């Protein structure tokens, strides 16, 4: 799991002391060789490379014992409370998004009904236009026939 709060990218050729802290682990992604900098508390964790998105295990610096990273009971409790608050906010956000989805589904259904009605009306208009064109062609043929008859009558 990635701890994005401590994951930072070091731009190539730019490794100033302002960006890298004494407690940071600097290493290259084994997949894309992108430089990564992450807080020492992530040692041994698997994160996603910010460049290629591949899973990368953060190396454990030599001489470092993972047990040194264990938090006190108070720190664990604080993190637990923070996690519970974040979970509650996430659940509220999920609920709001689900309501939004339901609303969008209803709107989509209404729009689909309207679209079908419009398609039927358009089909009816096309049929009426075709009927008018047919009648117009018949009318033109009749007028032409009348003109031919008058022309024949005038020649007699």
pLDDT tens digit string along 30-83? 999 999 999 888 888 899 999 999 999 999 888 777 666 666 778 878 888 999
pLDDT at 6 over 50: no
pTM over 0.75: no
Q: In terms of DSSP bridges, do strands 55-57 and 7-9 run parallel, antiparallel, or are they unpaired?
A: unpaired
Q: Is there a contact between 36 and 27 (Cβ–Cβ < 8 Å)?
A: yes
Number of domains in the chain: 2
Boundary (domain end) residue, out of 65, 87, 107: 65
% of the chain surpassing 70 pLDDT: 85
pLDDT for position 45: 87
Average pLDDT over residues 25-31: 93
Cβ neighbours for 43, distance < 8 A, ≥ 6 positions apart = 25, 58, 59, 60, 61, 64, 66, 69
In a domain, 1, yes or no: no
| 77 shares its domain with 143 | yes
Can you give the pLDDT at residue 65?
A: 72
41 and 82 both lie in a single domain: no
Range of the domain at 142: 71-147
């Amino acid at each position: 799991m990635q701890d994005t709060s401590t994951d930072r990218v070091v731009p190539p050729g730019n490794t100033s002391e302002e960006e890298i802290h004494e407690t940071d682990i600097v290493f290259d992604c084994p997949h894309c060789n992108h430089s990564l900098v992450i807080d020492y508390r992530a040692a041994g964790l698997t994160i996603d490379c910010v460049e290629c998105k591949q899973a990368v295990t953060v190396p454990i610096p030599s001489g470092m014992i993972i047990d040194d990273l264990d938090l006190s009971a108070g720190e664990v409790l604080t993190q637990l409370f923070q996690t519970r608050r974040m979970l509650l906010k996430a659940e509220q956000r999920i609920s709001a998004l689900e309501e939004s989805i339901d609303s969008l589904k209803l709107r989509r259904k209404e729009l689909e009904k309207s679209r079908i009605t419009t398609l039927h009306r358009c089909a009816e208009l096309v049929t009426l236009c075709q009927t008018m064109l047919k009648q117009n062609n018949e009318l033109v043929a009749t007028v032409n026939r009348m003109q031919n008859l008058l022309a024949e009558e005038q020649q007699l």
